[in-house]
Chain A
Amino acid sequence: MTLHIEPIIGRYAHIEIEGVAHRLYWEEAGQGIPLVCLHTAGSDGRQYRALLNDPRITSQFRVLVFDMPRHGKSSPPAGTVDTDYQLTSDAYVAQILAFCDAMELDSPVVMGCSIGGRIVLHLAQRHPERFRALIGLQSSAHVAPYYDTQWLDRPDVHGGRICGAIAYGLMAPQSPMADRDETRWHYMQGGPGVFRGDMHFYKVDGDMRDQLATIDTAKCPIYLLTGEYDYSCTPEDSRALADAIGVDLTVMPEMGHFPMSENPQAFLHHLYPVLDRIRSA
């Protein structure tokens, strides 16, 4: 019997972000155009396991996925475990630029989902010259609060259980159960207050509605893909964004908020044409 070992390599890098030393965990596979993938709020890089394992992509792209500080295997920087955590757009942009600089990536593609789909808009606005292309999954300019995120972090509610339950509902009922379970397990493992802290960026600080006119997609192309079952970032939300910045939107049927993780094989077939266009541009 042959042991199945995945081609993914996971390592730690010591990277300074906004003047603070971080020990950041990242995984990568493949060679070619750098493709940096950003996980969703309260989760980690395991969401991109299928992408990292897909030879059609890794034969053309060097796929890199880092766990944001406080997420996955990237612990909070020294002395900040008990610090109240609220993600801001400035901090998030700084993380991405620091990672790309540390890895010496030349004109990478950045693909992000949810909060990652939002931050690519900030990257497009602030640093379009640094990126070959940007891909927004479940991307919108803003999401109005629709439940009280205080429930995600309080002493009388198990944080892992409620975060997993929130993630569970955001997935499409057609997605394979094993992948839905994997996806909510990532949420169940999140640190206390991390998902809620990420929501500060998603629902408050990262609002891009008034700044969309400052995005020039001629400087850096943007591709948008959204699952039809997502009620956090609905297809209508993404459609409004796509219309505002003048790009196409792919609506993925029978897909929810976590396309790369809840139904990876179906998602890859939506992603291939986008990557082909980026590669041939």
Chain B
Amino acid sequence: MFDRLTETCGKGSAIAALAPDLHWDLMLQTGDNEYAIRIENGAVIAANAGPHVMPSWQTRLAAPTEEWAAFLEPVPGPGHHDIIALLRRGAMRFEGDLHPLMANLYYTKRMLASLRPEVAT
């Protein structure tokens, strides 16, 4: 589900340029699966699907698969268009150290939205 992040947010991408100093181990949980997202200098250098033997992460965003799918629609509907909207509905959990997320919130939103077909960069 998140494999293409290394393409849409890879080194040299416009999104990577939004957070040039960011180094972050982000875990994205979809139902029973987990994607380990490794970010260096703002670029997504790895997006590895689980299962992971000894997963280590700073921050985890967890939501049911259908919620992620609705979020990643080309034009998501009301309540599905933003991770804070999901948080408010109780559809997503923010876990772990939230500082990298909140200090880079616009970057994070743009990174995830880059997987939407219409807005891929």
What is the interface of chain A, defined by CB distance below 8 A to chain B?
146-147, 151, 156-158, 161-162, 164-166, 168-170, 172-174, 228-231, 234
Shortest Cβ distance from A229 into B: residue: B78
Complex interface: chain A residues within 8 A of B89 (CB): 231
Decide if A151 touches B102 in the complex (CB within 8 Å).
Answer: yes
Known: A162-B103, A165-B109. 7 other contacts (CB 8 A): A161-B105, A161-B106, A166-B84, A168-B109, A174-B75, A231-B82, A234-B79
Given contacts A156-B99, A228-B78, A231-B79, whether A165 and B85 have CB atoms under 8 Å apart is no
One digit per residue, 1 when the CB lies within 8 angstroms of any chain A CB and 0 when it does not, for chain B 74-93 equals 01101101111101110000
Complex interface: chain B residues within 8 A of A168 (CB): 82, 106, 109
Consensus secondary structure, chain B interface: helix
Complex interface: chain B residues within 8 A of A161 (CB): 103, 105-106
Consensus secondary structure, chain A interface: loop
Decide if A156 touches B78 in the complex (CB within 8 Å).
Answer: no
- Distance of B115 from chain A, by nearest CB (Å): 14
- Distance of B60 from chain A, by nearest CB (Å): 17
Shortest Cβ distance from B102 into A: residue: A151
- Give 23 A-B contacts (CB < 8 Å), ordered by A residue: A146-B84, A146-B87, A147-B87, A151-B102, A156-B103, A157-B99, A157-B102, A158-B103, A161-B103, A162-B102, A162-B103, A164-B106, A165-B106, A166-B84, A168-B82, A169-B81, A169-B82, A169-B83, A172-B78, A173-B76, A231-B82, A231-B84, A234-B79
- Distance of B107 from chain A, by nearest CB (Å): 8
